[in-house]
Chain A
């Protein structure tokens, strides 16, 4: 090769998307990804791990896919690089269109990598088969989609775009915020890089529990001219305690003399980007004095409290009691009991936490990746000693959240740095930092005893769960309260005693993760229902149908339900169940090797919104003098599709097409508070607020036009018109007010719930969603490995607002449920990256058959219910039940790693 001389002489160039770019004096040992993003501004190339594990940074080097994070600039010299920004030019516009049409992009952070890997395949094989697609895309991790729609899109990439079909409520429309996600234009937390911004890096505890003291920070900083500031807890002007549930707020933004978990931040270094990012901070002047650490939750109750006001390390406990469990159990014809143990699970959004803060006059602006802009604003303001109105949060595009981006991460640190330096300050967590410092799914040790009568009716449940909530409160109280309420699953029990406790340890902070503890509870309950069904002599699916909640039934909290869809979901599985059982039986009858097939089923129910606490959403819609509706919508779309779904609901209620709407927000300055994107609440709660605002606005319009409610609205050349029996006429909108709108409406909605009493009696949620999934697996009994072949998933959405997005939620939930069941286990200091911590790849996913059920909920907008978390809950227990069906062994611990199953099979 002749590149050597050129490269070493510093004269080489790279062709990027067809343009020749001189390398100049750029360091040749620099990651190509870093150069593309920071020197060329091509932030469409995403970095998720800087280790070649996630593939988000895939670019084409002379047509071949490589990870740009592993490619030294020197090896790209003299060659051609294609990034997502150059896909169109490379003739791949149809591929991008197919991604939109098939719903293959959710949060969108993996989309550039997926597109590039697919483009390389399509360039050499224009008509690939499914196996070729899977092999070509295997190096890119997706945490949202479950890969199904990505595969479909690549297989269908040859088809030209077609004109959009129906756009009504219930139509299969592509996500409205999709186009920037397939072109690389969407700006995520790490993509906003203002000129003259400083870089923030954190110093973190290497110990799970340690006291610390700083040396001479001023001297250390003075010796490094690139350092703008070194900041510690002593520099925090406000209350150095944050937390998502104000009465439990206990987590310092920077620890004060004692670190309580590995990865806790104790100081930040703020400096000029290049040298700060290259600096070795291992000589930072901090002395650690390790303390005994509680890492085993079983020892927590007897250990010295991490927080003096929480004896026995008990954060909180929740319980539900109804009926006489002892008597009911004593009278039961059949009783089973068992335990379940679950692990820390890391959300692993492919986008690590990232954001930038700057001062706009005396307003501190924070643009970061988040699920909860208004909570971020309030908590950051409190830490920084500012009134909330002096903090503005503008969520960036969010590259995956799943619960972990409900808590503060970079916000108070970049805010503090910006306040102290007066310059824009930017922070991007490394993958390791993201894994160490952010919340996890609560590990649980659960136990249940279940009784049924002679006829197979469930009569008693005795349920107990102990959760490791880690060092700080986060969402621990929510988990402890939500789990007992959901302990029964969607089944009728005559008597229930359910208790859950969240206990502190020096382990990672456990917080919110899709389902808030309910998946752990379902693992325990559902894997005991199978042996109970058999003891009753009933088919496992029919046993569940027999006991499924129905309209008019009371739950264990005494709430009488309406719009109950679990029976419909379970019955929808019947034909699939019969086929699958027959298929498995036939396969096992002729099996000669170690492979055995099995079929399992499990259900879910899930209350949408906060548990017995207010969680209102407020939506504002304006009509411009030209007649265009503008939707101010504060719900963050973290990939699940709220931008699209809320617009569809507003459009239906207003009576104008989706495409007529302009979207504003979320932005705490421009949009009212729509609460957090969690608890499967946006479609329901924000949807209700949007429908109310749209109806109020429609009433104003019709009044102005002197038309009745049956009139039709339209938006055309002549502006906004009404059509009724009297004909079509323009609406006399009048001039704009100070807000720019001729008309406006703002409405709030808060779910009608009640507090739970000491026995957990009350109405914790106003709407529930329902689902049931059936798993078909193949177990390698010699190696203890499990291959999931198919998941049939029936979910009741009340009213399907957008089937394309709904299927995406189901497929993505199943992927995370599969990970929970079979591979995911976060161990501090051992799995702090995406090659030791395993999440499902494209090759691990089964066929997924979604079945959408509509049993309208009287409270939901147009009958709609939440779905986001539901989809994850039944997957893991259905897989475990299928493993038991195949092998006769009930696994009592997840993840069911090969060695654990093999051990159980002995």
Chain B
């Protein structure tokens, strides 16, 4: 865009209600801005070029609520709100991820919906939500629809979001809120890392054994994914020493070689992290048993 034509007032919209936002989406196809933690780093300009639709003032788009079917997290909910909210043990992985999305400055700005729509293979929010069977709610003037998160993210930086749609919420169905969870992220430094590998594990235990396990791994394939075969193999295992088969983990992933790590290492690290996250998640159960 020629900077001469950049009209600062017309380029930026921050409506207070969803209808106005959806009308703008239909009419302008603007860039959707929430926390800004991905949009601003993508440009070296002092301002975003318009048109920009800032969704952070839209009523009902922020906040965490219990619903009949489970829980609903507004798409514009900031990570710090998630980290500080009373959440069930099944969402402990999500809380831990929220605390590692950058540092506090990023957590105070970045939103859960933005993390999903940006669709980075290393998005911190994705594995914990996959492990809970999360769905996303999308809205446009044409109506609202729900998609499983796994179907929403279609590739690295690609989603099923239509050009006129806004993500309005992350939906956590009741079934995914059972049990306990844990999240682990591995990088070459302590804070502010784009991870080499990350895992979220959710387990439901009964009678000293693992009942159901949900395992999701990020940064080890183009899109973070669940590992059904590894999950199935865990069912019925004793809490004391559940066994993870590294070969099964590797078979379920398709990691790449890059500057951060080799593909082989990623598979190996994922298996190790799954074991550790599993121990974290079932620790309290074991103590109670």
Contacts and interface: CB of A to CB of B under 8 A. Distances in A.
Nearest to B12: A28
A903 B193 CA distance: 21
B49 A69 contact: no
A50 B190 CA distance: 22
B15 A277 contact: no
B235 to A, nearest CB: 25
Contacts of B4: 225-226, 275
Given A1-B57, A899-B265, A65 B52 contact: no
Contacts of A117: 104-105
A836 B191 CA distance: 13
Contacts of B48: 29, 72
A75 interface: yes
Nearest to B57: A1
A548 B219 CA distance: 48
- Interface residues of B, dominant DSSP: loop
A67 B105 CA distance: 6
Given A52-B37, A835-B192, A898 B186 contact: yes
A26 interface: yes
Contacts of B44: 50, 430, 432
A139 B105 contact: yes
Interface in A787-841: 822-823, 825, 827, 830-831, 833, 835-836, 838, 840-841
B54 A75 contact: yes
A8 B80 contact: no
B9 A25 contact: yes
A278 B47 contact: yes
Contacts of B47: 27, 29-31, 34, 278
The residue in A1, A432, A895, A899 that gathers the most chain B C-beta atoms within 10 A of its C-beta is: A899
Contact of A139 (B192, B265, B268): B192
B188 to A, nearest CB: 5
Interface in A63-88: 64-67, 69-72, 74-75
Contact of B189 (A53, A430, A838): A838
Given A34-B46, A838-B189, A842-B191, A274 B109 contact: no
A455 interface: no
Contacts of B8: 25-30
Q: Which of A55, A66, A140, A835: most chain B Cβ within 10 A?
A: A66
A582 interface: no
B9 A139 contact: no
Contacts of A141: 192
A194 to B, nearest CB: 18
B49 A4 contact: no
A228 to B, nearest CB: 15
A835 B189 CA distance: 11
User: What interface size band does chain A fall in?
Assistant: 35 or more
A53 B188 contact: no
Nearest to A896: B188
Interface in B242-263: 258-262
Given A51-B40, A136-B104, A225-B4, A29 B12 contact: yes
B36 interface: yes
Contacts of B103: 55, 138-140
Interface stretch (A621-629, A687-695, A735-743, A778-786): A778-786
Interface in B39-81: 40-41, 44-50, 52, 54, 56-57, 59, 80
Contacts of A50: 40-41, 44
Contacts of A71: 36, 109
A527 interface: no
B158 interface: no
Given A27-B8, A275-B4, A8 B105 contact: no
Contacts of A836: 194, 259
A537 interface: no
Contacts of A139: 102-106, 191-192
B105 A30 contact: no
Contacts of A899: 196, 261-262, 264-266, 269
A794 B285 CA distance: 48
Contacts of A52: 37, 40-41, 102, 105-106, 109
Contact of B14 (A7, A53, A64, A830): A7
B241 to A, nearest CB: 13
Given A27-B6, A785-B186, A897-B188, A278 B102 contact: no
Interface string A560-587: 0000000000000000000000000000
B3 interface: yes
Nearest to A834: B192
B261 A898 contact: yes
Contacts of A277: 45-46
Contacts of A279: 3
B192 A53 contact: yes
A4 to B, nearest CB: 4
A226 B5 CA distance: 12
A783 B13 CA distance: 47
Contacts of A58: 105
B106 A278 contact: no
B280 to A, nearest CB: 13
B109 A66 contact: yes
B6 A841 contact: no
B247 to A, nearest CB: 16
Contacts of A225: 4
B3 A51 contact: no
A844 interface: yes
A4 B15 contact: yes
Contact of A278 (B15, B41, B49, B261): B49
Given A28-B8, A52-B102, A783-B269, A4 B14 contact: yes
> Which 4 pairs, one residue from A and one from B, show the smallest C-beta to C-beta distance?
A139-B103, A843-B190, A27-B8, A899-B265
Given A30-B47, A835-B194, 11 more contacts: A8-B9, A8-B15, A10-B9, A29-B50, A30-B8, A64-B108, A117-B105, A275-B3, A833-B41, A841-B190, A842-B191
Interface of A: 1-5, 7-8, 10, 25-31, 34, 38, 50-53, 55, 58, 61, 64-67, 69-72, 74-75, 117, 120, 135-136, 138-141, 225-226, 274-275, 277-280, 430, 432, 782-785, 822-823, 825, 827, 830-831, 833, 835-836, 838, 840-844, 895, 897-899, 902-903
5 contacts: A30-B8, A30-B47, A841-B189, A897-B188, A899-B265
